Amino acid sequence: MKNLNAKIYIAGHKGMVGGAIWRLLENLGYTNLIGKSSNELDLRNQREVSSFFEEEKLDIVIDAAAKVGGILANNSYPYQFIMDNMLIQNNLINCAHEHEVKKFIFLGSSCIYPKLAPQPLKEEYLLTGQLEPTNEWYAIAKISGVKACEAIRKQYGKDFVSLMPTNLYGTHDNFDLNTSHVLPAMIRKFHEAKVNNHSEVVLWGSGTPKREFLHVDDMAKAVVFAMENKLEDHLYNVGSGEDLSIMDLAATIQRIVGHEGTIQWDHTKPDGTPRKLMDVSRLAQAGWNYEISLEHGISQTYQWFLDNEKSVKNVKI
């Protein structure tokens, strides 16, 4: 199913995930990639999106566009997190359906699964329990996207697939301390403390929750795998299938960064879900597995942060 001339639109191509997909496709020889900045195309605007699809006659659409953020951002802007994401994905999914796009890949998040679902998280656990309250707005939006793609697949037999990544990190990540996720936030905190005479680093929560991480370049490879192959199911988890405690993650990042100060855990701040480990056997059986180790991936990401320190500190969502 490999067609290097296929017209491929990557929604969110300037984001961390979309950018990684774009770079990989270019490296693989795909020659007809389409990307639009938010200034050029407002994905929340149905009329604009419909006109874009009518004009471009796309073969493949990869939806890597979303309003994203950590616990603080989700808690602070619940309406934007549910409404903006639903508008973006609904416009893309419906226009892809109406304009006969051959393949649609929808990217979600592991937060779609219930807070206390059995571990590791299997695809069939979707909608079997309550969500984690600190990011339920984003999760509900993403769940609706998964179900919309499933409905199109069921009713019309179209090749619409949803990929649910675990926690992603890597180059071009968001290092803004107000909106970033835990891993890039730690890299910045430990680095700045190191520069500041190895001062104390304060981290949220108890450090006991366990999390799984996947390098964004591995995520891009999973997307291309899904694009180039016809998958039997509508929903696939994407991850390493391995997790570690936030405390162990902090120790790993501290060592890689070279920070020699102390860590203070702020127990007044929320921990979030106790554990989020993905069961990645469904995609493994289809033929895909991750390649980049956490140690190597964090080292590479920290080097990218150092190379781009001035610009990344000013990045906002």
Q: Which residues are annotated as a binding site for substrate?
A: 189, 204, 211, 271
pLDDT of residue 313: 61
Helix (H) or strand (E) holding 264: strand 263-266
**How many domains does one find in the chain?**
1
pLDDT at position 75, please?
Answer: 80
- Which residues neighbour 103 within 8 Å (Cβ) at sequence distance 6 or greater? 59, 60, 61, 159, 160, 161, 227
One of 9, 77, 113, 138 is an active-site residue; which one? Answer: 138
Asked whether residue 213 is assigned to any structural domain, the reply reads yes
Q: Is residue 278 in some structural domain? A: yes
Mean pLDDT (the chain, rounded): 94
- pLDDT (average), residues 168-184: 89
Instruction: Band the pLDDT of 315: cuts 50, 70, 90.
Output: very low
138 is catalytic: yes
pLDDT, tens digit (0-9, with 9 covering 90-100), for 219-256: 999 999 999 999 999 999 999 999 999 999 999 999 99
Q: What is the DSSP letter of 243?
A: E
Q: What is the DSSP string of 201-219?
A: EEEES-S--EEEEEEHHHH
pTM of structure? 0.93
Residues belonging to the binding site for NADP(+) are 12-18, 107-110, 142, 165-168, 181
The answer to whether residue 189 sits within a structural domain is yes
Give the type of residue at 144.
Answer: S
Domain membership flag for residue 1? no
What local confidence, expressed as pLDDT, does residue 317 receive? 35
Half-sphere exposure in the Cβ direction for 210 (13 Å, CA): 12
Residue 2 inside a domain? The answer is no
User: What integer pLDDT is reported at residue 41 of this predicted model?
Assistant: 98
Position 214 pLDDT exceeds 80: yes
pLDDT at residue 275 greater than cutoff 80: yes
Q: Which domain holds residue 305?
A: 8-312
Lowest mean pLDDT among 148-157, 223-232, 251-260, 274-283: 274-283
Q: What mean pLDDT do residues 106-116 have? A: 92
179 in a structural domain: yes
Angle at 10 between CA 213 and CA 281, to 5 degrees: 35
Indicate the helix (H) or strand (E) that contains 156: helix 136-156
pLDDT tens-digit readout, 25-61: 999 999 999 999 999 999 999 999 999 999 999 999 9
- Answer whether residue 181 is part of any domain: yes
**Residue type at 286 in one-letter notation:** A
User: What CATH number is attached to the domain comprising 214?
Assistant: 3.40.50.720
